[in-house]
Structure formats: C-alpha cells, structure tokens
Structure 1
C-alpha cells in the first residue's frame, strides 16, 4: 500500500481531523461499531500517517458519539427546514453530508486551507447544493457567502471552538446571531477540567494544538449576545433519547461503555445546541 498512499501537509489544528477520521474507520471495521462509514476506512488506507498511535484510545468511540449527536441535530433541523443551509465548520474529512443529505439542503464545507486541500482529494463539490470554502471560522468572507444561500442556517461547529480564545468565541456567537437570526448552532464545549488536564489526555496530548476556551456552564453563553438561547444540551453519557432509541442493543451497549471510559479528572465535554433567535426575540436584524 506504500506506493498508493500519500502524506498530508497539515497545520497543528488541522492535524486533529485525523483523530476523528480514524475513529470512524475503527468503528466501521467493528461489526458492532457505532457507525458505518466505509469512506473513512478508504481515506485512512490512502493517507500515510501513524494512525496506529491512536489504537485503543477511549476518545475514538467517544468522538463518534459526538459526531452522531451532531448528525441527529442536523437531521432534526432539515426535517423542519429541508431547503435550508448547513455550514459544516471544521469539516475536515467528515462525511456528514453523505449521512444526512435530503436532496435539497444547501451545504458549505468550511475549514482551514490545508484541511480543504486534503478534503479535495476525496470529495467533490456538487453545485449548486454543496461547496467547499477554505477559511478560518473567524473570517467573515465565508459568512458573506453563507448569507447568500437560502435560510435558515445550521452551523455545525464540531471540535473547533475549544481551540479558540474566549474573546474570539464570544465574537463569533455575536456575529452569527447578528447576521443569521433564526439559525441554530451546535458545538462541543470543553470544561475547565479538560483544558487544565489536556496534557494527560489520551489523544489531545499527542497533538501540537492545545485547547484554550473552557466553559463549565453552556447557559452562560446566553449572556454573550441578545437572542442566543441554549435549546438543548447533553454529554456523551446523556445522549438525546431519540438518537439512542435508534441504536441496536449492541450499539447501545457500546455507547454506554464508551461514555464511561473517560477519567473523572477530564470531565465530559458538553454538546450544546443553541438557537440564534430572530429580531422579534430581541436579536439585532442582519445588516
């Protein structure tokens, strides 16, 4: 396989996308795995990288549980707004579009330039419904593009915000609320314990990138901008009932085991779904 693989060039934060990719591949190879993602297996086999260092790490199945939760929230959004727009922030090599596409949604895969360059090796844009943009989440150019697509919007921001400084996260919430009233935003939030102990984390400790923003109470974000409301939250041990109800008994047991493998000192990240409400709810109208 050596002649058919290639070594990607990725920045510190971009490299973390390989953790979640490998997690999906591992779960796919397991007949009782949490998800089925043959594309992840193919991508792992095509990339020259030391994935074996992640073998057996509890964070792999936990990352898949997080991904499944975000899938669940996106599907719920599309059930209400089938022709809306989803922006996958930090898309990496995720296959969420392939899992949830309803044939009508508009979709933006957004990530840093190195990650998008890698993504283009495996994925193709499908105009006019799907496109890839290379930019930081803090770059307003992608917001200009998203604003030109049909609303409402869903912002899926997975494994991204903990790497930013809090003032940047605050700005992002305020800006998205101002520009996209009525949208939803899903993100994972690292606790102060996770940030403080990340040097001992089973996979984060292997990466050069480091967490910055921590928050122990997601509802505190509501005070950051008029119109922000915490609509739903869970941990990996308290997944949405509707999601778990669709699991087979074997998958349900695997999910339970995965949720219980994190050392107490790290805590569990909070998976949070925010509603960015419209002008009638007090949010500023878009300009």
Structure 2
C-alpha cells in the first residue's frame, strides 16, 4: 500500500477521493467513479479520521458532475483541445471523460501529490504530469496559444489566498487564446462552515478565497465572461441529503454557498 505523506493543503485531496469512493459504492451513485474506490484500497491512510458522512459524499459528487459534463462538452466541440487539470490530486477525471487522441491533457499538482499519483497509477503515457503548484506558470509555459484550452480546477481555488486566485485567473486570461475556465467556489458563509467541518479540520488545512458574486470575476480581465452557473443544491439533490441538512439548506444563503462556474476566455 502507498503511504501518505502530504502537507495539510494537499491532504484535502483525500476528502474528495474518499467521498467519491463512498459514492461509487452506494446503490444509486451520483457520479459513479470506481477508480476512486480502487485508489482508496491502495492507500495507507486512516480515512475514518475525516468523518465523512452522506452529506459530504453527495455534495462532492454533485460538485464533480457538472465539471465532468462541461469538460465533455468542450472536448466534443474541440477534439484538438488542451486541458489543464489544476490541482488534479488523485482524481481520474480523464478516465471518466475519455478524451480522444487529439487532446493534450495535463495533470498539474504539487510535487508530493504527483509522486503519490505515480506510485498509485504508474506510468500515464496518455497524460502529461506537471509537478508544480496551481499558481505557478510551469503548465502555462507549455500551452500553445493557438489551440482551444480548457482549465479545470476542482477543490483547489478556495484553498488559495485571494491574491493568488486573482493572479492565476488573470494569467490564464492573458495566456489562453480561446477557451474556458471551470471551477468550484464557496461564498464567505461556505468558507466558514466548510472550513470548520470535521474533514477539513482533520487535515489542518485552512480555506482562503471566497467568491460572493460570480459576476465579479470578469472585472479582473476584459477577456473573461461568465457563461454558466450551477448551484449544486437543487431540490433533487436535497432529497439525497440527511434530514438536518435538508432543513438547513432550505435557507437561500446555505443553498448558494457552493457554486460550480464556467467562464469563457477570449
């Protein structure tokens, strides 16, 4: 089994991984990611310390599902695209999406995460691995400006400082000739509640950036535009949650505290 030696921020990838694994084992999975369950079995880590319950499992899957759907749609329109999977963790989005041979796919994360990924999955000849922080320019330097580019960042940006997020988004808008940026974000309320939750607290990680209004991002750079917003807490989603969560999420601020967003670049 692969031992886990990760910094606090990197350790949060195990929250997402284990939530997907539990979802895949449920009778009616939301996402359905058997690769996550296989990875969990091969990792030497006490996942019980994260105290992940039904609400985290369903919420994580609901957050991932639109990002997968938007990725498929982008690749359907642009089979020759470049995909930057920022903060990839141990996610098998590539396996779920199944891009064609014309796609260049970059898995980007901290060196410690890429090392663990290689230990678990071995050679990944169909993907380019970049051991670098999401805020760095190592991946951007390799991206051709004349090809459509999709940037996917799940469970990443809200662990960065607000200044880092703005610098990263601005750099992407300046570098990418045409493409899209898709990611999840939390409101200030979401930052407080999720940051105090058992899973994040167990890792010692601290949430940073919060987005109050998705319409604010295009003011950072003229080449950015908001295309789509997915508020994951729909009535159908609430029915899959625990009774206390269903009651709490009836309040609009709690329904809106996690968003999945799609922006155009160019």
TM-score (norm: length of structure 2): 0.89
CA displacement at 1:125 relative to structure 2: 4.6
| 1:122-137 alignment runs, 5 A limit | 122-127=120-125, 129-137=126-134
Tell me which moved more, 24-33 or 199-208.
199-208
Distance (Å, rounded) in 1 between the aligned partners of 2:42 and 2:23: 18
Correspondence 1:100 to 2:97: yes
CA contact (8 A) 2:147 2:177 kept: no
Does 1:268 find its partner at 2:264?
no
Match of 1:12 among 5, 8, 11: 8
SS at match of 2:121: coil
**8 A contact 1:236–1:268 mirrored in 2:** no
Aligned 8 A contact 2:30 2:62 in 1: yes
CA contact (8 A) 2:19 2:52 kept: no
CA contact 1:57–1:203 (8 Å) conserved in 2: no
The aligned length equals 258
Q: Map 1:155-194 to 2 at 5 A.
A: 155-194=151-190
In structure 1, list runs of 5 or more residues that go unmatched. Answer: 239-251, 278-287
Once residues 185 and 194 of structure 2 are traced to their aligned partners in structure 1, the CA distance between those partners, rounded to angstroms, is 14
- Superposition RMSD in Å: 2.2
For 1:235 and 1:170, the matched residues in 2 are separated by: 22
State the partner residue of 1:21: 17
Where 1:116 maps in the other structure, the secondary structure is helix
| 1:217-232 superposed matches below 5 A | 217-232=213-228
SS in 2 for 1:146: coil
Give the conservation status (yes or no) of the 8 Å contact 2:82–2:149: yes
Secondary structure, in 3 states, of the residue corresponding to 1:257? coil
* Correspondence for 2:79: 82
The 10-residue stretch of structure 1 (56-65 or 17-26) with the greater mean CA deviation from structure 2: 56-65
Tell me, yes or no, if structure 1 residue 65 matches structure 2 residue 62. Answer: yes
So what's the TM-score if we normalise by structure 1?
Answer: 0.83
